[in-house]
Chains A and B, each alone.
Chain A
Amino acid sequence: MNFYGVKAIYNFEMSRMRRTLMQSVLSPVISTCLYFVVFGSAIGSRMGDIDNIAYGAYIIPGLVMLSLLMQSISNASFGIYMPKFSGTIYEVLSAPVSYVEVVLGYVGAAATKSVILGLIILATARLFVDYSILHPFWMFSFLVLTAVTFSLFGFIIGIWADGFEKLQIVPMMIVTPLTFLGGTFYSIDMLPEIWQTISLFNPVVYLISGFRWAFYGVSDVHIGISVGMTLLFLGACMSGIWWIFKTGYRLRS
């Protein structure tokens, strides 16, 4: 195990985050605050409770998940795309590091940033809404698991992308709609039956549902299914990365 190699990549990525603190942390925190102000306070005060939870508190898990997904993908995809773009990837490819170590460095740093960000958003939410966390261990586990899974997904996007447009297209065109339609602002029970069924094909439903269960003990789908689906996606991402390094896809010609 090249411990120093993993540490070098990890520290390099974390220092990139420190350099871009405004973009990495402040920007998502501010946008989440805006959601709380608009949906939590302004509109939420006129909304009824959902599953006996005040609307402002109900949307917290979904909003944290929204930022977590977007930032995990963005951090990890930028982390590996930038060396490809600038050409400095040659150094990683020629270094005595295995692909597991490369992924540990890049994805580890991206997931760390996302978890820190998730916790900051949770702390910020407290300024606007009163909420409690019924299962703190599961809440943190879901936070870490989701951050790792979507950082892996971001890493794949970063490898796949051969331009900045592609880097943005998956988060903007796929992940954002799936998150908005995945029950961030509502319970899928509130949808017509046909849309409830369609929603079950949206993987983000399971993430938000599971995360919300950790907070309030209520969920759209059973917690076991949520964990299972998250692990399934994690497995799919790991397989994708294994394939990338095995074939050298867009890394080694």
Chain B
Amino acid sequence: MQPDISVKNLNKVYEGGFQALKNINLEINRGEIFALLGPNGAGKTTMISIICGITNMSSGEVQAAGYDIVKDYRRARETIGLVPQELNTDSFETVWNAVSFSRGLFGKAPNPAHIEKVLKDLSLWDKRNNRIMTLSGGMKRRLMIAKALSHEPRILFLDEPTAGVDVELRRDMWEMVRKLREDEVTIILTTHYIEEAEEMADRIGVIRQGEIILVEDKTQLMSKLGKKELRLQLQNKLDKVPGELVLEPVELSEDGYELIYTFDSQQEQAGVARLLRTLGDIGIDYRDLRTRESSLEEIFVGLVHEPAEG
């Protein structure tokens, strides 16, 4: 199946010589939710801006819905909706006019029924005749999404859509994204909230210093790179890690009542079994044991802090 977004050898060098993107290659499939993670300044917004036509690429090739974004820019852009990071709105316009404007701009004939549906889905219907300047920050964020959905795009870019919004609105947005996926809308999401990616994404890409350092199915990523932690609550206090375990990744808690064993998810069975066997052999009893899987956030922090190659 042809990918909905195809990025080949994409480079971006800004005036002044700063290279924001370095040979990016990426494919995003129809109907998937792709989360792009990366620290500030990693190149997430630059990449989105290039695909959407806001920034020029230095070299490379990008296709959206099978159309080249330069040679066939009209068809490519018709398929894309963008919710930018900043709340850029025309303060004096009404909600209805602003959303209708977006639909027209993207070459679609007026369709009041669709605009009504979008506004209702985003709880903006009651505000349709209000000027944008009277809306709260959260409402403005919803408006940005309504504008992006006004022309029924099949690809939607959400550039940090939940930055600065309250928990309820964030939940609403997650719900909306799930509904869009049911309609086979491809969604590319950048976020600082790792829980957001963890909650919604099918695949995750990590970008660091302009390079994609990893693209992986979310569950595979978590099982591949995720660390697990086994905590054993001891019957009796220990002063130090027993000599038989010093070669294992085992630590003793400060109070001496807990042994903490950290292991890769994939090595789980062999390592745990060996540890428990050793403890039995040397006569250390434990009252309870529990395991904990590292979150995507911990994986992400681990990845972006690894030293860059070269």
Query: Which A residues have a C-beta under 8 Å from some C-beta of B?
Result: 2-5, 7-9, 11-12, 15-16, 19, 86-88, 90-98, 248, 252-253
Query: How far is A11 from B102 in the complex, measured between Cα atoms in Å?
Result: 12
Assuming the contacts A19-B92, A86-B91, asked whether A253 and B55 have C-beta atoms less than 8 A apart, the reply is: yes
Q: Does B89 sit within 8 A of A, measured CB to CB? A: yes
Indicate if the CB atoms of A8 and B105 lie closer than 8 Å. yes
Q: Across the two chains, which residue of chain A brings its CB closest to B55?
A: A253
Indicate if the CB atoms of A5 and B89 lie closer than 8 Å. no
Indicate if the CB atoms of B104 and A253 lie closer than 8 Å. no
Least CB distance from B14 to A in Å reads 6
Q: Across the two chains, which residue of chain B brings its CB closest to A87?
A: B88
**B74 CB contacts on chain A under 8 angstroms:** 2, 96, 98
Indicate if the CB atoms of A86 and B54 lie closer than 8 Å. no
Q: Across the two chains, which residue of chain A brings its CB closest to B148?
A: A91
B14, B105, B108, B147: which has the most chain A beta carbons within 10 Å?
B105
Indicate if the CB atoms of B77 and A94 lie closer than 8 Å. yes
Main secondary structure of the interface of A (DSSP, over half): helix
Query: How far is A7 from B101 in the complex, measured between Cα atoms in Å?
Result: 9
Q: Does B220 sit within 8 A of A, measured CB to CB? A: no
Q: Does B177 sit within 8 A of A, measured CB to CB? A: no
19 A–B contacts from the bound complex (CB under 8 Å): A4-B103, A4-B106, A5-B106, A8-B101, A8-B105, A12-B93, A86-B90, A86-B91, A88-B90, A91-B82, A91-B105, A93-B52, A93-B53, A95-B77, A95-B107, A96-B73, A97-B107, A98-B74, A253-B15
Least CB distance from A245 to B in Å reads 12
Q: Across the two chains, which residue of chain B brings its CB closest to A1?
A: B107
Indicate if the CB atoms of A87 and B54 lie closer than 8 Å. no
**Which of B56, B80, B97, B103 is within 8 Å of A94, CB to CB?**
B80
Q: Which 10 A-B pairs have the closest CB atoms?
A: A8-B104, A87-B88, A96-B74, A96-B77, A94-B52, A2-B107, A95-B105, A4-B104, A93-B54, A8-B105
Q: Across the two chains, which residue of chain A brings its CB closest to B94?
A: A15
Q: Does B285 sit within 8 A of A, measured CB to CB? A: no
Indicate if the CB atoms of A91 and B107 lie closer than 8 Å. no
Interface size class of B (residues with CB under 8 A): 35 or more
Q: Does B308 sit within 8 A of A, measured CB to CB? A: no
**A96 CB contacts on chain B under 8 angstroms:** 73-78, 106-107
Indicate if the CB atoms of B89 and A95 lie closer than 8 Å. no
1/0 per residue B27-53: CB within 8 Å of A? Answer: 000000000000000000000000011
Indicate if the CB atoms of B89 and A88 lie closer than 8 Å. yes
**B80 CB contacts on chain A under 8 angstroms:** 94
**A4 CB contacts on chain B under 8 angstroms:** 103-110
Q: Does B86 sit within 8 A of A, measured CB to CB? A: yes
Least CB distance from B249 to A in Å reads 47
**Which of B78, B93, B104 is within 8 Å of A7, CB to CB?**
B104
**B107 CB contacts on chain A under 8 angstroms:** 2-5, 95-97
Within 8 A of A (CB), among B58-96: 73-78, 80, 82, 84, 86, 88-93
Indicate if the CB atoms of B56 and A253 lie closer than 8 Å. yes
Indicate if the CB atoms of A86 and B55 lie closer than 8 Å. no
A9, A16, A92, A253: which has the most chain B beta carbons within 10 Å?
A253
Least CB distance from B84 to A in Å reads 5
Indicate if the CB atoms of B108 and A90 lie closer than 8 Å. no
Query: How far is A90 from B54 in the complex, measured between Cα atoms in Å?
Result: 6
Query: How far is A16 from B92 in the complex, measured between Cα atoms in Å?
Result: 9
Q: Across the two chains, which residue of chain B brings its CB closest to A7?
A: B104
Query: How far is A92 from B77 in the complex, measured between Cα atoms in Å?
Result: 11
Least CB distance from A182 to B in Å reads 35
Query: How far is A91 from B99 in the complex, measured between Cα atoms in Å?
Result: 11
Least CB distance from B143 to A in Å reads 12
A4, A9, A88, A95: which has the most chain B beta carbons within 10 Å?
A95
Indicate if the CB atoms of A86 and B89 lie closer than 8 Å. yes
Indicate if the CB atoms of B14 and A253 lie closer than 8 Å. yes
Indicate if the CB atoms of A12 and B88 lie closer than 8 Å. no
